[in-house]
Amino acid sequence: MSNEKIQAELDQYNASVEKAVAKFPLRGNVPEKGLYTPLDIDMTPEAYADKIGFPGVYPFTRGVQPTMYRGRFWTMRMYAGFSTAKASNERYRYLIANGGTGLSCAFDLPTQIGYDSDDPISEGEVGKVGVAIDSLADMQILFDKIDLGKVSTSMTINAPASVLLCMYIAVAEKQGVSMDKLRGTIQNDILKEYAARGTYIFPPRPSMRLITNIFEFCSKNVPLWNTISISGYHIREAGSTASQEIAFTIADGIAYVDAAIKAGMDVDAFAGRLSFFWNAHNNVLEEVAKFRASRRVWAKVMKERFGAKKAKSMMLRVHTQTAGSMLTAQQPNNNIVRVALQTAAAVMGGTQSLHTNSKDEALALPTTESVTIALRTQQIVAEESGLADVIDPLAGSYYVEAMTDRIEKEAWEYIKKIDDLGGAVAAIEKGYIQKEIQDSAYKWQMDVEAKKRIIVGVNKYQVEEEPPKGLLKVDASVGIEQSKRLADLKAGKTVPDYVAVGMTEGRNNDDVKAALAELKTAAQDENENLMPHILKAVKTYATLGEICNTLRDVFGLYEAHVSL
């Protein structure tokens, strides 16, 4: 088509847009020109074809595998954990029996911040937002009758990730599964805790040491394990934009890689086991573009900044969870639709594994029925929608490609700013990342209150409704019973619940004291890898709180502050 012909059609199109806008003013968040068509974007289809490349090829915009879901579906990894280890074990086995292909463990708040269930600070929180794990014995119950040599397990644990991983390794050993056969992921992302979530224990510097200790230990002993899931999920839940989510998360990833290299590790020895964790939000096309842009940014970071040679080191592999913050307590059945759209976004974006939230999670822990609906949502998208039959189904879309470019550009701008501040750790210490997230969250809320952003059932289409019935609630007796078991364990008594999984005698407290003393000495030596010492303490049935308190004595506690 000649330039004159294109210009004539463009003039005709613009005139028709002006008439339409005069009658119906444009709504919502739209680009400056008002609409996205081929004429809004200064790039021809041929140029796009040259730019976007192929799946499985650097810079992996279109996916990290050449065949994506044509070869196999993503892992359907349902996140679960509540009450006791026994109750959570029953839920895990139910999910596996109903087609779940991976486990994802939710731990209660005391476990997440390294306190035992009998600690006064834990009162009222035991088993509430996840499962309570105090010792190796609880971990044995949690995975009872689940073959750790066959299942892939993700554990959402950060500050005490080294301890929980050691417990998992010890359980596998008792099952006869060597650590080099274990597959799964620990979140192990402490920087986002300081920036967005808050379940930290130690200051940033010793926390970074623990993370690099895990990298080193697993590269030699647990080679199939993903040693970190660098998490944008919680950054987005705290209120960030899509661009901020990937920018701040990749900046954290840069800090982890820097720390590992400074500790003497070769980038290609550990980078292939790094993974990421994205949020699947409500704006389907923006989310697809976010996934695609994030792969491109990370590939360039690893190749150009760190000199990675292996393709696997440059691949951004990602687990996704649908957006909990977007679920509403009002008209909770609407959440089924929201989760289905978020699932479609994650699949079209090319995720490697996915958890789908349940409809009642804005109100309580999910019931078995709502968990089943959430799992079936993934299975319907996989088996019935056709989205898994096409690799990168939106590739070449003018809108999606332009938005991918925009998100990438905005992410690079943030990464440069963080570099200028001295990197992610310094940016967090100065409060920069926290403030950016808070400002975005505030703008979102103001838009909702002004009805510039519509939330169905909340600020539009409201109805009078009865409080929902049949919600899952964790009884306070859970904490009481867990504390009783723990007291007996610490006293060296035989605990019937633990006998059932092979702990036929009480723990030897002399062995516990010796292992903790050895751990403390090792922690005082900055050059010592703490993983073997933690594993030794775990095997004596030293508790999570005892191990973390030993490290608290050496490392101290982090206190949040903003100095920017």
pLDDT in tens, 227-241: 999 999 999 999 999
Number of domains in the chain: 2
Interaxial angle between packed helices 284-300 and 334-349, expressed in degrees from 0 to 180 and rounded to the nearest 10: 30
Please tell me the number of Cα atoms within 13 Å of 257 on its side-chain side: 27
What's the confidence (pLDDT) of residue 40? 53
pLDDT digits over 167-183, tens only? 999 999 999 999 999 99
Is 20 within the bounds of a domain?
A: yes
DSSP string, 357-375: --TTTTTSBPPHHHHHHHH
Angle at 354 between CA 285 and CA 71, to 5 degrees: 90
Domain that holds residue 35: 3-40
Indicate if the pLDDT at residue 156 is higher than 60.
Answer: yes
Q: How far is residue 150 from each of residues 8, 312, 326, measured CA to CA in Å?
A: 63, 23, 34
Is 392 within the bounds of a domain?
A: yes
Phi–psi pair at 169, nearest 5 degrees = -60, -40
Residue 18: pLDDT band by 50, 70, 90 thresholds?
confident
- Between CA 165 and CA 186 the distance in angstroms is 7
Is 418 within the bounds of a domain?
A: yes
Tokens describing residue 302: 């690893």
| Nearest alpha-carbon partner for 232 in 209, 248, 211 | 248
- Between CA 549 and CA 88 the distance in angstroms is 26
Is 369 within the bounds of a domain?
A: yes
Indicate if the pLDDT at residue 3 is higher than 90.
Answer: no
The answer to whether residues 431 and 306 belong to one domain is: yes
The answer to whether residues 147 and 27 belong to one domain is: no
Pairwise pLDDT comparison (239 vs 21), residue with the higher score? 239
Is 351 within the bounds of a domain?
A: yes
Interaxial angle between packed helices 85-97 and 368-383, expressed in degrees from 0 to 180 and rounded to the nearest 10: 30
Indicate if the pLDDT at residue 102 is higher than 80.
Answer: yes
- Between CA 126 and CA 492 the distance in angstroms is 22
Is 503 within the bounds of a domain?
A: no
Quote the percentage of the chain above a pLDDT of 70.
Answer: 94
The answer to whether residues 301 and 413 belong to one domain is: yes
CB count in 10 Å sphere of residue 517: 12
Helices and strands (H, E) in the chain, number of each type: 23, 9
Pairwise pLDDT comparison (414 vs 45), residue with the higher score? 414
Is 250 within the bounds of a domain?
A: yes
The answer to whether residues 15 and 76 belong to one domain is: no
Indicate if the pLDDT at residue 533 is higher than 70.
Answer: yes
Residue 78: pLDDT band by 50, 70, 90 thresholds?
confident
CB count in 10 Å sphere of residue 479: 24
What's the confidence (pLDDT) of residue 158? 96
The answer to whether residues 336 and 402 belong to one domain is: yes
Report if pTM > 0.85: yes
What's the confidence (pLDDT) of residue 399? 86
Indicate if the pLDDT at residue 294 is higher than 70.
Answer: yes
pLDDT digits over 202-229, tens only? 999 999 999 999 999 999 999 999 999 9
CATH number (domain holding residue 175): 3.20.20.240
What is the average pLDDT value for the chain, to the nearest integer?
Answer: 92
Q: Per-residue pLDDT averaged across 9-18, rounded?
A: 74
Indicate if the pLDDT at residue 354 is higher than 90.
Answer: yes
What's the confidence (pLDDT) of residue 475? 79
| Nearest alpha-carbon partner for 113 in 238, 191, 202 | 202
The answer to whether residues 34 and 84 belong to one domain is: no
